[in-house]
Structure 1
Amino acid sequence: MGLSMATAARWVERWEGQQQRYAIDRQERFTVIADVVEHMTVGHSTPLVVDLGCGPGALAAELAHRLPAAEILAVDADPLLLELGRTHYGSTVRYVETVIGEPGWLKALALHRPLDAAVSTTALHYLCTKTLRRVYRQLAALLRPGGVLVNGDHLCQDAPTIAEIAGVVGRRRAERQHAFAHEDWDSWWSAAAADQELADLLTERRSRRLPSSEENDLTLSAHVALLHEAGFRHVGPVWQFGNSQVLVAVR
Structure 2
Amino acid sequence: MGISMAVAREWVERWERQQQRYAVDREERFTVVTDVVEYATAGRGRPLLLDLGCGPGSLAARLADRLPHAEIVAADMDPLLLELGRTHHADAARYVDTVIGADGWTDALGLERPLDAAVSTTALHYLPEPVLLDTYRRLAALLRPGGVLVNGDHFPPAEAPCSDITAYVGRRRAERTGGHAHEDWREWWTAAARDPELADLLAERAQRHAAHGGGGTGEDLAADRHAELLRRAGFRHVAPVWQFGDSVVLVAVKGG
TM-score normalized by structure 2? 0.95
Question: Post-superposition shift, 1:158?
Answer: 3.5
CA–CA separation in structure 1 for the residues paired with 2:159 and 2:185: 30
Q: Secondary structure at the match of 1:62?
A: helix
CA–CA separation in structure 2 for the residues paired with 1:230 and 1:148: 13
Correspondence 1:97 to 2:100: no
Q: Secondary structure at the match of 1:64?
A: helix
Number of residues of Structure 1 aligned to a counterpart in Structure 2: 251
Q: Secondary structure at the match of 1:90?
A: coil
Q: In structure 2, give the amino acid aligned to 1:124.
A: L
Q: Secondary structure at the match of 1:233?
A: strand
Q: Secondary structure at the match of 1:24?
A: coil
The residue aligned with 1:71 is 71
The residue aligned with 2:194 is 194
Correspondence 1:176 to 2:179: no
Question: Post-superposition shift, 1:162?
Answer: 2.4
Q: In structure 2, give the amino acid aligned to 1:161.
A: P
Q: Secondary structure at the match of 1:91?
A: coil
Q: In structure 1, give the amino acid aligned to 2:248.
A: Q
Q: In structure 2, give the amino acid aligned to 1:109.
A: L
**Which segment drifts farther, 208-217 or 95-104?**
208-217
1:152-197 CA-to-partner distances (Å, cap 9, x unmatched) read 0000123432222222211110110121111111111111110011
The residue aligned with 1:239 is 242
CA–CA separation in structure 2 for the residues paired with 1:52 and 1:125: 12
The residue aligned with 2:12 is 12
1:249 to 241, 248, 252: 252
1:10-47 CA-to-partner distances (Å, cap 9, x unmatched) read 00011111111111011110000000000000011111
Give the 3 Å change call, closer, same or farther, for CA 186–44 of structure 1 in structure 2.
same
Correspondence 1:214 to 2:226: no
Q: Which runs of 5+ in 2 are unaligned?
A: none
Q: In structure 1, give the amino acid aligned to 2:39.
A: H
CA–CA separation in structure 2 for the residues paired with 1:2 and 1:40: 36
The residue aligned with 1:224 is 227
- The answer as to whether partners of 2:158 and 2:221 remain within 8 angstroms in 1 is no
CA–CA separation in structure 1 for the residues paired with 2:241 and 2:92: 27
The residue aligned with 1:203 is 203
Q: What RMSD in Å do the two structures reach over aligned CA positions?
A: 1.2
The residue aligned with 1:166 is 166
CA–CA separation in structure 2 for the residues paired with 1:19 and 1:126: 16
Q: In structure 2, give the amino acid aligned to 1:196.
A: P
1:119-198 correspondence runs (5 A): 119-198=119-198
Q: Which runs of 5+ in 1 are unaligned?
A: none
CA–CA separation in structure 1 for the residues paired with 2:43 and 2:20: 34
